[in-house]
Structure 1
Amino acid sequence: MKLVDRMRLSIRRRAGHVVLRSELAGLGSASQVSDALRTLQRDGDLVRLGSGVYAKARRDVQTRTVRPAADFQTLAREAAAKLHMTPGSAASGHTAPIARSNNGNIVLDTGHRRLSRKLALGERRVSYINDRTRAKVAPASDRRLVIPATNVAEFVRDLASRHQVSYSPTMSDQWAETVTKLAGDPVRTGPVQDLLVALQRAGKLSTAEMTTLLVNYLRERKQRVRSI
């Protein structure tokens, strides 16, 4: 059996959606594995997320378009766990919160770790926030905004009320939601996330402040679910 066929079989048998080059390295020499990975990408079995990181994919029979087997948020979370990029344990499934910005990019909270590894799918990217950058968030204006780690939802609602800001979906929001749904990438938003977007659009929050509040909100919500 050719190496590319053995790798294809190995990939199909693996659980999950993300495949690391290191998991396939033992099947052949470095150059052979590289050639086989290029073939698998060309055939639509894999898409590349970053250096040594791939996602299982499939080719649409009618359009011949190659699509990953899962949405970008799922792939980012699984890749982060496999690469031990978060404070959580891949074995336990306790990964750090992941926030989605309004442009479809992903923000990954890495705790005390500082990372610069590039992960992307098309135009969407993964960026990182850690304890150090979170503590140095620049204010959106001359006032200094103290970012809370608890009761974040109440803080966001109070901030929006004080500035008389409410969320109204724009045409671009509706278009982006329709596109992501058609692409099979479910949109996960809520009232707090919408208010954060509205506050940023109104100039009451910087992008960094909005991202930090969103990550803190998701982290707090996840901790509450675990405690139930």
Structure 2
Amino acid sequence: MTIRDRIQTRVKRSKRCVFLRSDFKDIADYDQVGRGLKKLTSDGLLMKIGYGLYVRTRVNSLTGKLMPDNDTGADGVLIEALERLGVDYTFDNLSSMYFSGKSTQIPANIKITPKSPRFTRKISIGKQRVNEV
């Protein structure tokens, strides 16, 4: 069984949808894991959303394009990625009012910002972004 196959079976069997490069360090060396992840990205099983961050994908039934395999959408993927990285985050004012129950207006776009100004890693899925202008 090749390294690519071992990474692929781990991704398919996992319950989570966001993967760090370090999740596969027990399979092979750093460079070999990188080549396997790059091959799976080009095959369409994974999508790179940031440095060392990958998300499992599926084909959108309406557009036929790849999208994150998560029921909560791009916002949920960004939240899961920040939690996997151990970063504290906040929502914008309108989103936090909706989540706390103070407002019934559903925000069109949720803006997620890290609490620490030292976190500068860029994470993006489509139009949803963290730390990008």
Q: TM-score range by the shorter chain?
A: 0.7 to 0.9
Quick check: 2:47–2:57 contact (8 Å CA) kept in 1?
A: yes
Quick check: 1:50–1:120 contact (8 Å CA) kept in 2?
A: yes
Match of 2:79 among 77, 80, 96: 77
Match of 2:123 in 1: 119
In the alignment, does 2:103 pair up with 1:98?
no
TM-score by length of 2: 0.74
Cα separation, partners in 2 of 1:105 and 1:69, compared to 1, 3 Å: same
Name the count of aligned residue pairs: 116
Q: Distance in 2 between matches of 1:62 and 1:123?
A: 18
User: Structure 2 regions of 5+ residues with no counterpart?
Assistant: 96-106
* Matched position secondary structure for 1:56: strand
In the alignment, does 2:6 pair up with 1:6?
yes
Richer in strand (by share): 2
Which aligned pairs between 1:134-213 and structure 2 lie closer than 5 A?
Answer: none
Richer in helix (by share): 1
Q: Distance in 1 between matches of 2:120 and 2:114?
A: 12
Quick check: 1:17–1:56 contact (8 Å CA) kept in 2?
A: yes
Letter in 2 for 1:119: I
Query: How far apart are 1:121 and its partner, in Å?
Result: 1.3
Q: Distance in 1 between matches of 2:90 and 2:18?
A: 18
User: Structure 1 regions of 5+ residues with no counterpart?
Assistant: 87-95, 129-228
Deviation track 1:42-80 (CA, whole Å, cap 9, x = no partner) reads 111111110001111123589652111121110111011
What percent of counterpart residues are identical? Answer: 25
CA RMSD of aligned residues (A): 2.4
Q: Distance in 1 between matches of 2:48 and 2:8?
A: 15
In the alignment, does 2:22 pair up with 1:29?
no
Q: Distance in 2 between matches of 1:77 and 1:35?
A: 26
TM-score by length of 1: 0.45
Q: Point out the structure with max Rg over C-alpha.
A: 1
In the alignment, does 2:21 pair up with 1:17?
no
Kindly report structure 1 stretches of 4+ aligned residues shifted beyond 6 Å.
none
